[in-house]
Amino acid sequence: MNKSTRHAVIAGNWKMNNDRAASKTLIDELKPLVANANCDVVICVPFTDLEISLNETKGTNIKVGAQNCHYEKSGAFTGEVSADMLKELGVSYVVLGHSERRQYFGETDATVNLRVKAAIEAGLNAIVCVGETLKDRENGITSELVIMQTKIALKDLTKQQMKNIIIAYEPVWAIGTGKTATADQAVEVCKIIRNTVSEMFGDDVSNALTIQYGGSMNPKNCEELLSKEDIDGGLIGGASLKASDFAEIVDAASNG
Ligand code: 13P
């Protein structure tokens, strides 16, 4: 199995942007631009925009995701939202282990694993983020770190459950900085991730796994990144907030 048989997925991570009115405007602009996409199109929006996003995308090819979920089903976890709650609302994707959650909210590899398992058990597709900081890269531990993050995040999952997993390789130093990893740097790490998944679950699972690149992906650099054999999509921050930019990336993935 190769790239052409894998699912290309372009997901926008809006982060903490867009109120309800802005969400509606952006989705209205986006709908016609991506209607003929030959890849999956996902927008991962703030919790407060989930409902309007689900309503606005009804009957379209745009799927809606959240940006986190808790690992318990319910209970005394003030401020948290469970995977079941997202599923009940109609959400189909959730981003987990984003570096901003690791950096600002104490997310660890172990809690990422718990969240991944909860999301999959609830019937969500999980976009699991891994990636090194600049310091890690300078210390020459990128591959060790990404292997560790991948192994812990996917611990205890079954082959069947892996069908609902996407891994996003997001080098932290490339997020929101305008500094993109070169296509060669990106694909080198994406290959390491695929090999790790192969060791854990076998070639059939690793060959079918969608691996995204994320970190300053934009209309200018997306074509080269998405043309690489081991990059099956993108997790897009800044450029997902502008319909025309996001649509250009969707087009590149559709043709890639
Ligand atoms: P930018 O595209 O803004 O660099 O963000 C990437 C990202 O963090 C997506 O999750």
Q: Which residue is catalytic, options 56, 100, 132, 170?
A: 170
Q: Tens digit of pLDDT for each residue in 172-223?
A: 999 989 888 899 999 999 999 999 999 999 999 999 999 999 999 999 999 9
Q: Has 98 been annotated as catalytic? A: yes
CA pair distance 83, 94, nearest whole angstrom: 8
CA distance 112 to 69: 10
**With bands split at pLDDT 50, 70 and 90, how would you rate the model's confidence at 93?**
very high
Q: Is 7 among the catalytic positions?
A: no
Q: N- to C-terminal Cα distance for the chain? A: 16
Whether the pLDDT of residue 2 is over 80: the answer is no
State the average pLDDT over residues 41-66: 98
Say if ligand 1 is within 6 A of residue 235 CB.
yes
3-state SS assignment for residue 128: strand
**pLDDT above 70 (res 1):** no
Looking from the CA of 163 toward its CB, the CA atoms found within 13 Å total 5
What Å distances lie between residue 69 and 84, 168, 209, CA to CA?
9, 17, 22
| For the CA of 178, the nearest atom of ligand 1 | 4
36-72 CB burial, b ≥16 within 10 A, e <16: ebebbbbbbbbeebbbbbbebbeeeebbbbbbbbbbe
Rounded to whole angstroms, how far apart are CA atoms 202 and 218? 33
The answer to whether residue 108 scores a pLDDT higher than 60 is: yes
The continuous run of DSSP H or E covering 56 comes out as helix 50-57
> Using a 6 Å cutoff on CB, does residue 245 contact ligand 1?
no
Instruction: Give the pLDDT confidence score for residue 165 in this predicted structure.
Output: 98
The helix-helix angle for 109-121 and 142-153 (nearest 10°) equals 40
Label residue 223 exposed, middle or buried (CB < 10 Å: 0-12, 13-18, 19+).
Answer: middle
pLDDT at 71 over 70: yes
Distance, in Å, from the CA atom of 12 to the CA atom of 115, rounded to the nearest integer, reads: 20
Average pLDDT score, the chain: 96
pLDDT at position 34: 98
Average pLDDT over residues 32-38: 97
Q: Which residue's C-alpha comes closest to atom 9 of ligand 1? A: 237
- Ranges assigned E (strand) in 170-248: 210-214, 233-236
Say if residue 256's pLDDT is above 80.
no
CB 249 within 8 A of CB 217: yes
User: What's residue 215's pLDDT?
Assistant: 96
The pLDDT of residue 5 is 81
112 in Cβ contact with 128 (< 8 Å): yes
Total length of the chain: 256
249 lines ligand 1 (CB under 6 A): no
**pLDDT computed for residue 235 by the predictor:** 98
Higher pLDDT, 180 or 58: 58
pLDDT at 120: 98
Whole-number percent of the chain with pLDDT over 90: 95
Residue 234, ligand 1, Cβ within 6 A: no
- Comparing 147-161, 174-188, 201-215, 239-253, which segment has the lowest mean pLDDT? 174-188
Q: Give the amino acid at 162.
A: M
What is the average pLDDT across 158-180?
A: 95
CA–CA distance from 8 to each of 77, 166, 168, 182, 211 (Å)?
35, 10, 12, 20, 9
Say what percent of the chain tops pLDDT 70: 99
Q: What is the dihedral of CA 213, 218, 221, 227, to 10 degrees?
A: 50
